[in-house]
Structure 1
Amino acid sequence: MSEQVAHPHGADRLCPPAERAYADALRAGRIAREDAREATCLIDLGLLHPDPAALDWLLPTSPQAVMARLLRGVHEDIAASQARTGVVAAAFERFAALGAPAAADSEAIRVLDGIPRINAAIDDAIAGCTTESLTIQPRGIRPEHILSQALPRALDMLDRGVRIRTLYTHVARHGPGLHDYLHQLDGRAVEVRTLDEVTDRLLLFDRTVAIIPAAADDTSALELRHPALVEYLATVFERLWRLAVPLSDAVPAATDFEGITHRERVIAALLAEGHQDAVIAQRLGISVRTCRHHISRLAAALGSSSRTQLGVRIAQSGLDAHPR
């Protein structure tokens, strides 16, 4: 018996010499072995077989038999694929069960990419808020158009009996838009307090969902629903709230230390911590130019002629501690 030869095609896709020889064999009922020498693949594929009565001739296998054999192979392949599919599905069902806690945790921290998704998440949280809204707004004076956009949301929450508390920096007091905004809320359950500096933006609703920034340019945020994280942020807010000054009260204007203002004392403490002018300005919600003006006044009051000497004088005078 001759050795089987591997061919690049199957019975369903014959090479040209094999296709011609098989067609000749079907028309004539047989084909001389010599005439099929360029199509030995037909024998290997079972489309031609020797004539028992005359070994120099080859007989063709009927197309119906060939088709039945090919279809049987297809059915076997489908059955094998279905069996493999079942095995894979069963395996990943086990993996899914093992990963259920992780999936739950991923729902507790959701990344919001892009302003539209962030605004949609805020709208959903506001719509579901029923008792309390806590907000921290850094960066100084809030633009009037931003406050105008926030007004309908605040009115909607107030109509539902939600208590609103917001923390700003002291600088926000100088923006007329904030006072107009509060006036339009008509003295309802809205409380505003200010601090020298606050944390990054925080939106907290019913102590169940919080939204915080995830990028410096505000194009990405995190929606937090993990109870421990949300409670931690609520605690941070409450501690800042106790230290803050109600908007109806005056901010400490000056200290008894050679006319250095309260803000300059805060800047002195931040300089002592090693912060650069731009960082200090951002934390206090003021411009870098205004920050440097206060630093110049501070240097003049302490009699220092360089930044290094200013740092020494701040430490010597006790101004390196944040004022209360």
Structure 2
Amino acid sequence: MTLGGGDLAINEIKRTHPHGLTDLCEEGSRLYGNALRTGRIARADVETAPCLMEYALLHPDPDDPNWLRPVPPAIALAQRLNPIEQEISQRRRESIELADAFEPFMHISAQPTATTHSITVLEGLDRINAALDLATSQCQSEMLTVQPSRRRLEHTLAKALERDRPLIERGCRIRTLYQHPARYSPETLAYVAQFADGKVEYRTIDELAERLIICDETVAFIPTRDDGEIALELRHPGLVRYLIKVFEFMWARAVPLSAGAPYETASDGITEVQHSIAKLLVEGHVDEAIARRLGMNVRTCRAHIAKLAHALGSGSRAQLGYLIAQSGILDRDH
């Protein structure tokens, strides 16, 4: 048989017996056991299990080429274990060499090993609330929160009340941003009244992007889905500092909850909210998008648009956009 023929035979074995020695096929196990019990086995009988020859579990009978003799299990095992043990020894030597190579640098690293993850994905309300509870329980100085004006359910407010009360009792400062419609939410006003005597400040603003909670300039929480089922816990100092700057920017533009309502008419006859609506109208937003961004329902939004149109003397939606641009109301300071 040529070398090429031998290769073909081996390939055929691999196709018909695709298994390793540790999971010897049922037929091979049976025939090897029979060969050990009888001392030999006919070559023709092992044609159904060519793996026995491939793994050197049988060898030709020197006295009769038509028969095969079994290799004792102890010898077969030693033959198979020897290269494995050699490889293990080599890997051990390599691991020791790697450890020795890096050992001089282990004590001079400038950056301490991080003890917490910079970004943690929180999936499910239970896990989100547990993380918030832990962060607020550890808060010692100040908590910043951004709460877009979506209707907050009674049990949600009760949970927030339970979480925030210990902060006030510890003397922590809380600053919260709402959207303007929160001024007319009985649930929100009742919640705010619970902390009237604490170090708590509330302001409202026309637009808020999304919910945000920051504790002690060390950890921040932001949602990643509209249903609130997934949130990110951020502990990277750079990210937290950036979010604090965003909060402070909005805080400076917001109106204290105790100040005059943003719906009051200014000297030019346009309220603060109508000014915000005018800006969004000029940008091309439809009523539904404007209402969503300003935290109000569509009916209220359209009522403000009607008042804005009346104040500017507009007879149509197309004319309203033109009059807004010409009136200069978007140029006034707020």
User: TM-score category by the smaller chain?
Assistant: 0.7 to 0.9
Mapping for residues 118-133 of structure 1, pairs under 5 Å:
118-133=128-143
1:277: Cα distance to partner? 1.7
Which position in structure 2 is the counterpart of 1:242? Answer: 252
1:175: Cα distance to partner? 1.6
Which position in structure 2 is the counterpart of 1:172? Answer: 182
1:272: Cα distance to partner? 1.6
Determine the C-alpha separation between the residues in 2 that align with 1:72 and 1:152.
68
TM (norm. structure 2) is 0.75
1:178: Cα distance to partner? 2.7
Determine the C-alpha separation between the residues in 1 that align with 2:313 and 2:184.
30
1:215: Cα distance to partner? 1.8
Which of residues 233, 236, 239 in structure 2 aligns to 1:223? 233
The answer on 1:255 being equivalent to 2:266 is: yes
Cα pair 1:194 1:244 within 8 Å, conserved: yes
Matched residue SS, 2:174: strand
Alpha carbons of 1:206 and 1:21: their partners in 2 closer, same or farther (altered >3 Å)? Answer: closer
Which position in structure 2 is the counterpart of 1:232? Answer: 242
Query: How many residues were matched structurally?
Result: 307
Which position in structure 1 is the counterpart of 2:302? Answer: 292
Mapping for residues 131-210 of structure 1, pairs under 5 Å:
131-139=141-149, 142-210=152-220
The answer on 1:76 being equivalent to 2:91 is: no
Cα pair 2:154 2:187 within 8 Å, conserved: yes
Alpha carbons of 1:86 and 1:186: their partners in 2 closer, same or farther (altered >3 Å)? Answer: same
Determine the C-alpha separation between the residues in 2 that align with 1:144 and 1:43.
76
Determine the C-alpha separation between the residues in 2 that align with 1:250 and 1:43.
94
Determine the C-alpha separation between the residues in 2 that align with 1:76 and 1:318.
89
Cα pair 2:43 2:68 within 8 Å, conserved: no
Cα pair 1:141 1:174 within 8 Å, conserved: no
Range with bigger deviation, 298-307 or 114-123:
298-307
Query: Which runs of no fewer than 5 residues in structure 2 stay unpaired?
Result: 106-110
Cα RMSD, aligned residues only: 4.1
Range with bigger deviation, 228-237 or 174-183:
174-183
Which position in structure 2 is the counterpart of 1:66? Answer: 72
Determine the C-alpha separation between the residues in 2 that align with 1:279 and 1:122.
30
What amino acid does structure 1 have at the position aligned with 2:157? Answer: L
Which of residues 39, 46, 62 in structure 2 aligns to 1:50? 62
Larger Rg: 1
Cα pair 1:118 1:221 within 8 Å, conserved: yes
1:81: Cα distance to partner? 5.8
Determine the C-alpha separation between the residues in 2 that align with 1:24 and 1:217.
70
Query: Which runs of no fewer than 5 residues in structure 1 stay unpaired?
Result: none
The answer on 1:302 being equivalent to 2:312 is: yes
Matched residue SS, 2:308: helix
TM (norm. structure 1) is 0.77
